Structure 1
Amino acid sequence: MDNAENVIEAAGVRRRYRGGFEAVRGVSFEVARGELFALLGTNGAGKTSTVELLEGLAWPSDGTVRVLGCDPFTERSRVRPRIGVMLQEGGFPADLTVAETARMWAGCVSGARPERESLGLAGLADRSGVRVKQLSGGERRRLDLALALLGRPEVLFLDEPTTGQDAEGRRDTWELVRELRGEGTTVLLTTHYLQEAEELADRLAILHEGRIVASGTPSEVTGARPARITFGLPEGWHPGDLPPLPQLGVLGYEVHDRRVVLHTDRLQHSLTALLRWAEERSVPLDRLDARTASLEEAFLAIAGDAGRAGFDTGTAFGTGTAFDAGTAFDAATTDGVAR
């Protein structure tokens, strides 16, 4: 990626708090113009601490940060008019109406778009006369977003933008973010909704204990995890009747109440071999489902929750029974339990 195209750059960034706690430990990444980049991580991973450095709300303890070619902390006057910031909590006066809040905020923004336009973008045009304290949690997040858009930002920081929103509100926000990105706005997003990152992000990074432990496109991150094939066998057929796992190209498997889950890093090969076996023996595979790993699975594994998301050969998967990939299914298995 050409550095001239990057509008956000972090290099070896660290952030220490009083008492010596280091929330960000040498983070480096770049975001290109017009790109949507997602920062993911569990609570306390360092997402908000990192984003606050990019927004110019704090100065890094070490390393460098550049937004639109400037230091967002020491050159704040050059950066602030060109960015929009949606914090986790806006903290707006509760007794002002939505319209009054937008009008007050617009007075602090250079070249602000009309308040009604910004409220309309966030789906709040018909709530302009409602006091902030009467808004639902999801509506308050929409107000946060509307105010972040007042200045027509070139770079938009969204910190947990859909928290508290219902499914419809979340989808509306996603569509708006897509439109903004399509118009050239660069977006940096933090979210706990992994589907949100999977739907929106061009690239993402996963933070764990203040460090980036994985990065790339969503497909690159999930592609490092095994795919799975799930199906049920009819009466009279048992997992032990299946071919040896190496023949199927399978890394390991689980059995849950007669439903079999195969884990493979060669999805097409494994599925083809399974279907050929079933066709030759006229075995209907009930509710057959084949899919690549989800971002949630990859996230849990990368974040260190190996007990729930690990797929190592020979290890247990959840509450099912796992077997070594070098062996055939046990022909004595009759009830989903290996004997």
Structure 2
Amino acid sequence: MNPAHDQVRAIVWCEDALELLDQRQLPGALVYQRLTTAAEVAQAIGDMVVRGAPAIGITAAYGVVLAARARYAESAPNWQALIATDLAMLAAARPTAVNLFWALRRMARVIAAGCSHPAQRLLAEARAIHVEDIAANQRMGELGAALLTERGSVLTHCNTGSLATGGYGTALGVIRYGYAAGLIERVYADETRPWLQGARLTAWELVQDGIPVTLLADAAAAALMRQGEVRWAMVGADRIAANGDVANKIGTYHLAVAARYHGVRLMVVAPITTVDMSIASGADIPIEQRAAEELLTLGGQPIAAAGAQVWNPSFDVTPAALVDALVTDRGVVLAPDAVKMARLMAGTT
């Protein structure tokens, strides 16, 4: 891992408060929001100040710390009962990212254990979740880069880097590792409508780290693949079902279909905490519907015909049959299916 290609940190615990890089203002302004309550954290998650499944989970964990500090000061004997409403509020912030619920369950176990200084113990746990995420990303970077058998260019969708995680990134972590190893010469980044995570965030991250990046409209991806410019398409995931189906940022599914047609391999990179074995297939994954204004306006200015109706899912589901490689911090699964996913979760891959 080359630290020269890992310069961005979006989540910072500083002086008893959580500071989040406001990703809505990138790349125009580098602004950190300082949050001191669980309600502010839940609002920041819902408003996409922070986004990306691992980053949402880490942020929620720190939100529990803030909740515990307030509840303990409010009523030390009853803080465990009072904090339940805060956990529910954080869980409701975004419904698709399974890492959110995983992190909250982990923090809830600490709460259930009880201690005389809960905020300190919970802060240690949140920091552990944060550190473990970075280590997992670095491990996935190494595993994913090992699949790159020849030097070439790759295509990515949305943002899967340090902005979407505790640091280093999932699919962008593979890209960072592959670029440092001389296996990736250029990254093509979909703009990723309607929030433009590729244009505003991925391109910005790669420029910060000195990795060559070319931006393209989402609709141009298939034409780029047809020209033979891309070896791999690399994406992250917000939830992976027991059969290997992948819920990820809207646009991933049609990218996967185009990749299969053009002989471009699809790599999904996500920590093991993104796998939800309680969901049999992608058909059962809840898909968040976002506000119509995200499609009807841009930068607060109307861009669509007045009166037009809107369908605005934040995610889509890519069938496991279109995934060539699933890279997790526990190992790599080629052509994932239900049997292989069960082996992965059992640690027998």
TM-score higher than 0.5: no
User: If each structure's strand is expressed as a fraction of its own residues, which one has the higher value?
Assistant: 1
Higher-Rg structure is 1
